[in-house]
Amino acid sequence: MTLLPRKNCAALAALLAVLAVSATAAEKLLLLDDRVVERADRVRLRVGEVTKHPANPLFGEDRPWEVRYDNVYVNVAYDEATGEYHAWYSPFIVDELTTGTPPERRAAVRYHSTPTREMGLCYATSTDGIRWRKPELGLIEFNGSTANNLVRRSVHGAGVLHDPLEKDPARRYKVFGGEQIPGRPRRFEVAFSPDGRRWAPPIVCPEIGVTGDTHNNALWVPELGRYVGLTRRWLGGQRLVMRAESADFTRWSPAVEVMRGDDVNQTYALVMFPYGGVYLGLLMIMNQQTDRVHCELAWSPDTLLWHRIDAGRALIPNAETPGAYDWGCVYAGTGPVVRGDTVQLFYGASNGPHTGWRDGFLALATLPRDRFAGYVAGAEEGTLVTRPIRLGGGPLTLNVAAPAGAVTVEVLDADERPLPGYQARLEAVDGLRVEPRWAGGADLAALRDRTVRLRFRLRQATLFACDLP
């Protein structure tokens, strides 16, 4: 992993946070977090393998106001109380080039954006995440009728945040996005809603200093006591991931750069979420040569410093067959939704290249719990040693995939001397909560509050995470 450069004093604060957390006990240790792993030999950190749902694509451009999905920019939330999924997505509702060019003529016409294009925000619901309903809400006029599922017009790349900590019921839902009114200069804006459907007039936020032409997204970061938003700007032909902060979601700091790619592989969008003691990011990389977009994985200790994981390898891979529903572009939505031991990653997909003619869809990929990334060893044994951690007294469980391999785990003291009786070997295992059996029947409860290290020896195995209740 490469520590990405920062251009402001927040880098020092983030570095101090890394040093402080490295010696702190945690119930879940994601091994992708370099505050957990001190040394790794003959192993490589690789992204996990997702499974694309057999029902994909889940829905497509099947309404008159869904002219072109483009990148979809979907935001999905799951309500535990009602068992219902809620989705907000952003099609172009006006795109005269698309509506004026029948499919049979498109091979002879180059697709390009036009000043009249207008993006809207649509709403859909589902009880299972697979079959979706687009309700007629009667809220927003389109072509003389309100019989549609539109909740906003003229907003680009809207990130929708359900904020259960918000004390004002009228601001329980928040939009962080770009204002896009045809014929006017683009600006950044926020908006509030009590239910995610009826939205108050937007508040323009010019101080952010970007136009928001990406999948903008925001969340509350309790460690900072502030909202953090991610957006994008262009600089010298490069797409840069930008970050801004706010105490009240209406007045924002100027956006500063937190990530960039290179001239060929550019950082198109980054959507973030808290997970397992870190912030994970689904990073969309646009290849300027192939005109395709894939989704990688990144992580941050604090939303300030971001690290790419297994750069160049997709977490949600594109299809290999040209013309397949997600061959051209993959744009991960905000989320994910975690239900039981399954992580659901909803994403926007398209069957053609980014700047060409393409059909867009909503799709779903799933991942086993905590298996976003793990350390992989082949036939040659590899070793991982953790930084010092303080034990809580509960049993250790491992998230490990070694159906044809083996893992040996040892508990060491802070100076890396093995503790007698705390060695275990696991063979032919593949599970999310594999508990080692210590030699001689030792019990970790005897080491409660003691600072130790863990050493893992891997052969033909992938180790993702540890749980230390």
Residue 391 sits in a domain of what CATH number? Answer: 2.60.120
pLDDT at site 182: 86
Alpha helices in 272-370 (DSSP H): none
Structural domain boundaries enclosing 57? 51-368
How far does the chain reach from its first CA to its final CA, in angstroms? 28
Are 426 and 406 spatial neighbours (Cβ–Cβ below 8 Å)? yes
- Largest Cα separation within the chain, whole Å, is 78
Q: What tokens were used for 111?
A: 């697709």
**Residues 182 and 75 occupy one common structural domain:** yes
Integer Cα distance of 212 and 3 in angstroms: 25
Task: Select from 303, 338, 368 the last residue of a domain.
Answer: 368
**Mean pLDDT confidence for 23-35:** 78
Integer Cα distance of 71 and 89 in angstroms: 9
**Residues 327 and 395 occupy one common structural domain:** no
Q: Is the pTM of this model over 0.85?
A: yes
In a domain, 405, yes or no: yes
Please tell me the chain's helix, strand, coil percentages from 3-state DSSP, rounded to the nearest 5: 5, 50, 45
In a domain, 432, yes or no: yes
In a domain, 318, yes or no: yes
Left (φ > 0), alpha (ψ -120 to 50) or beta: where does 276 sit?
A: left
In a domain, 92, yes or no: yes
Integer Cα distance of 468 and 170 in angstroms: 40
In a domain, 142, yes or no: yes
Integer Cα distance of 64 and 106 in angstroms: 19
Name the pLDDT band for 26 (thresholds 50, 70, 90): low
pLDDT tens profile 177-221: 999 888 888 999 999 999 999 999 999 999 999 999 999 999 999
pLDDT at 413 over 80: yes
**Residues 384 and 434 occupy one common structural domain:** yes
Name the pLDDT band for 121 (thresholds 50, 70, 90): very high
**Residues 222 and 295 occupy one common structural domain:** yes
pLDDT tens profile 360-412: 999 999 999 999 999 999 999 999 999 999 998 889 999 999 999 999 999 99
Are 257 and 242 spatial neighbours (Cβ–Cβ below 8 Å)? yes
Instruction: Report the number of distinct structural domains present in the chain.
Output: 2
In a domain, 398, yes or no: yes
pLDDT at 18 over 60: no
Are 431 and 395 spatial neighbours (Cβ–Cβ below 8 Å)? no
**Residues 190 and 154 occupy one common structural domain:** yes
Q: Average per-residue pLDDT in the chain? A: 93
Output Rg (C-alpha) for the chain, integer angstroms.
Answer: 23
**Residues 208 and 329 occupy one common structural domain:** yes
Residue type, 124: A
Q: What tokens were used for 209?
A: 């200093």
CATH number at residue 326: 2.115.10.20
**Residues 124 and 89 occupy one common structural domain:** yes
**Residues 141 and 166 occupy one common structural domain:** yes
Tokens 């990688």, residue located: 296
